[in-house]
């Protein structure tokens, strides 16, 4: 037996061992029908991009789970804004730059509908729905009255035609609407003059597309493959499941509606004989009898009543929904409770484990896509424009250093998380700057506010104390606020009282 096994065992490094290791490349009975084409992602996007985009937009508008997932994605990716913290060492110049930027954010939108951070949220939604968004930087005239003569215009993915693939007379290649030079650099974008699906935008006959230099356009998308030139909708992996699940839900809803209808059918041997409570025949000639509460209907000999009993939804409906939505959530890379709003089976440990992984993925998009592709180029262009227009007296290259602070993450358990941060600072594991920035604020702004609060407290004679031994939910209230006429002892500031909630 041992000799037979030795004879059948594949030789190390032989062809049998190689085939065993490459099971996914086998073409036997189980995998005979699995023959996907070996296509580049750009070819797939060029051929299926328009239809995929149309289905994605319709799904986010009509499907509740897709709409909720889109809002959760945008809210966690940018929140109330990924904001700059200038690293200029000159405190006065830094303060001037920060104040000018904050004032300009209200004027950043070329359409005048939102501010710069609202544009970030719109870009995040477009990334979820279309996989990409284009931002055109529009210089303005001095007479427009802007603090910094620069505004931003968002363009949807449909504005750049997927089918525009050709070669220019100078040798440049246009691929999916993007023009590349001979060494593969982006030199221009060929945008449509109007949205192909907007029937309200009727313009005079002009060339279909207009060439915009690449230095005026930001292409925001997440490349998932090397060499990818256009984005794919973030919702793409879950689109089919969401669409079919929506149809299944509609069918079950109609089933329940039918099951809620109460109907009876009377059979009798002589159909021409009238029946008690029988009314006039309907348009089809069928007799209808009414049934009133508290009525005892007497039937004639040979008559019988049968009631409808449509099939119910069944006990497996909720389990099927749960498993399907779990697969949808995994496809979207979003926690289950953010997609569905269902937290019945959630607890502190499960929520924390789920959110840690989710925040790691979101952080990757924040720094690798939003900050790198959107925020930093706009910051550089804004500095150059501010200096050239005279709104800022600084060297744009020296003032370029900046750190982008993403929105804070809300704590699952605030007491435990804050205590962990305090212990980490005390042990030297992290710095106070990083802890403050993790809350979404600029440490220098927080320090200025704390200093102003300290001066005001001293002027009003207030003293706030806090000790590590205070229980969760305790708050400290100055007695001078409770009773403004309370006397001070020995010229000292009023004492404080701790109230337990």
- Give the model confidence (pLDDT) of 308-322 as tens digits: 666 666 678 888 899
Strand order, beta sheet including 166-167: 166-167, 173-175, 178-180, 186-192, 209-213
Instruction: Round the CA-based radius of gyration of the chain to a whole number and report it.
Output: 34
What is the Cβ-side half-sphere exposure of residue 482, based on CA atoms within 13 angstroms? Answer: 12
Contact residues for 235 (Cβ-Cβ < 8 A; gap 6+): 56, 59, 60, 66, 69, 70, 128, 129, 242, 332
Give the model's pLDDT for residue 465.
Answer: 66
Strand 166-167 relative to strand 173-175: parallel, antiparallel, unpaired? Answer: antiparallel
Taking CA atoms, 362 is separated from 78, 222, 285, 408, in Å, by 9, 12, 65, 12
Q: Give the span between the Cα atoms of 240 and 69, in whole angstroms.
A: 15
Residue 71: which H helix or E strand, with range?
A: helix 64-77
Three-state SS string over 228-261 comes to CCCCCCCCHHHHHHHHHHHHHHHHHHHHHHHHCC
Q: Give the span between the Cα atoms of 140 and 138, in whole angstroms.
A: 6
Total number of residues shown for the chain: 501
- pLDDT per residue as tens, the chain (501 positions): 454 454 455 565 555 555 556 777 777 778 888 888 888 899 999 999 999 999 999 999 999 999 999 999 999 999 999 999 999 989 899 999 999 999 999 999 999 999 999 999 999 999 999 999 999 999 999 899 999 999 999 999 999 999 999 999 999 999 999 999 999 999 999 999 888 888 887 766 566 899 999 999 999 999 999 999 999 999 999 999 999 999 988 888 887 777 776 666 666 666 565 554 555 555 555 556 666 665 666 666 767 777 666 666 667 888 889 999 999 999 999 999 999 988 887 777 788 888 888 999 999 999 999 999 999 999 999 999 999 999 999 998 989 999 999 988 876 677 877 888 888 888 888 888 888 877 777 787 888 888 888 888 888 888 876 544 444 444 444 444 444 454 444 444 444 444 333
- Among 50, 49, 42, residue whose Cα is nearest residue 174: 42
Give the model's pLDDT for residue 473.
Answer: 43
Give the model's pLDDT for residue 498.
Answer: 40
Q: How many CB atoms lie within 10 A of CB 473?
A: 9
Q: Give the span between the Cα atoms of 442 and 328, in whole angstroms.
A: 37
Q: How many CB atoms lie within 10 A of CB 74?
A: 20
In sequence order, the β-bridge partners of residue 133 are 220
Residue 306: which H helix or E strand, with range?
A: strand 304-307
* pLDDT, tens digit, 9 for 90 and up, residues 105-158: 999 999 999 999 999 999 999 999 999 999 999 999 989 999 999 999 999 999
- Among 501, 479, 499, residue whose Cα is nearest residue 489: 479
- Token reading at 385: 């424009």
Q: Give the span between the Cα atoms of 211 and 192, in whole angstroms.
A: 9
Q: Give the span between the Cα atoms of 460 and 482, in whole angstroms.
A: 14
What is the Cβ-side half-sphere exposure of residue 440, based on CA atoms within 13 angstroms? Answer: 13
Q: How many CB atoms lie within 10 A of CB 180?
A: 17
Q: Give the span between the Cα atoms of 375 and 137, in whole angstroms.
A: 12
């Amino acid at each position: 037996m041992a000799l037979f096994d030795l004879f059948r065992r594949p030789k190390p490094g032989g062809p049998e061992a190689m085939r065993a290791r490459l099971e996914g490349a086998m073409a036997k009975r189980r995998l005979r029908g699995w023959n996907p084409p070996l296509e580049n992602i750009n070819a797939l996007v060029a051929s299926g991009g328009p239809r995929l985009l149309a289905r994605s937009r319709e799904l986010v508008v009509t499907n509740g789970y897709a709409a909720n997932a889109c809002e959760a994605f945008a809210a966690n990716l940018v929140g109330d804004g990924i904001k700059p913290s200038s690293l200029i060492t000159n405190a006065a110049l830094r303060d001037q730059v920060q104040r000018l930027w904050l004032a300009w954010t209200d004027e950043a939108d070329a359409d005048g509908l939102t501010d710069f951070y609202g544009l970030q949220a719109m870009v995040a939604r477009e990334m979820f729905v279309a996989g990409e968004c284009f931002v055109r930087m529009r210089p303005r005239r001095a007479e427009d009255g802007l603090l910094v003569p620069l505004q931003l215009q968002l363009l949807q993915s449909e504005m750049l035609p997927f089918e525009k693939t050709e070669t220019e007379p100078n040798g440049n290649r246009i691929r999916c609407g993007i023009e590349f030079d001979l060494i593969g650099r982006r030199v221009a974008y060929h945008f449509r003059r109007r949205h192909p699906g907007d029937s309200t935008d009727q313009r005079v006959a002009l060339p279909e597309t207009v060439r915009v230099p690449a230095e005026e356009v930001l292409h925001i998308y997440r490349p998932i493959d090397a060499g990818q030139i256009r984005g794919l909708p973030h919702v793409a992996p879950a689109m089919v499941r969401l669409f079919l699940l929506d149809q299944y839900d509609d069918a079950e809803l109609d089933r329940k509606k039918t099951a809620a209808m109460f109907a009876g059918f009377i059979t009798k041997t002589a159909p021409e004989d009238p029946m008690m409570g029988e009314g006039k025949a309907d348009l089809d000639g069928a007799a209808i009898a009414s049934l009133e509460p508290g009525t005892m209907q007497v039937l004639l000999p040979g008559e019988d009543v049968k009631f409808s009993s449509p099939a119910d939804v069944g006990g497996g409906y909720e389990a099927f929904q749960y498993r399907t939505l779990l697969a949808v959530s995994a496809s979207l890379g979003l926690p289950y409770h953010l997609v569905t709003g269902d937290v019945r089976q959630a607890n502190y440990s499960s929520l924390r484990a789920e959110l840690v992984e989710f925040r790691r993925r979101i952080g990757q998009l924040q720094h690798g896509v939003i900050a790198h592709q959107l925020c930093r180029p706009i910051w550089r262009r804004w500095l150059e424009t501010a200096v050239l227009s005279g709104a800022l007296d600084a060297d744009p290259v020296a003032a370029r250093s900046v750190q982008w602070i993403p929105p804070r993450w809300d704590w699952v358990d605030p007491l435990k998380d804050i205590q962990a941060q305090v212990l980490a600072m005390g042990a030297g594991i992290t710095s106070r700057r990083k802890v403050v920035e993790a809350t979404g604020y600029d440490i220098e702004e927080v320090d200025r506010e704390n200093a102003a609060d300290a001066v005001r407290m001293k002027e009003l004679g207030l003293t706030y104390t806090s000790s590590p031994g205070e229980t969760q939910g305790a708050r400290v209230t100055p007695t001078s606020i409770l009773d403004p006429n309370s006397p001070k002892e020995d010229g000292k500031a009023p004492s404080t009282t701790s109230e337990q909630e």
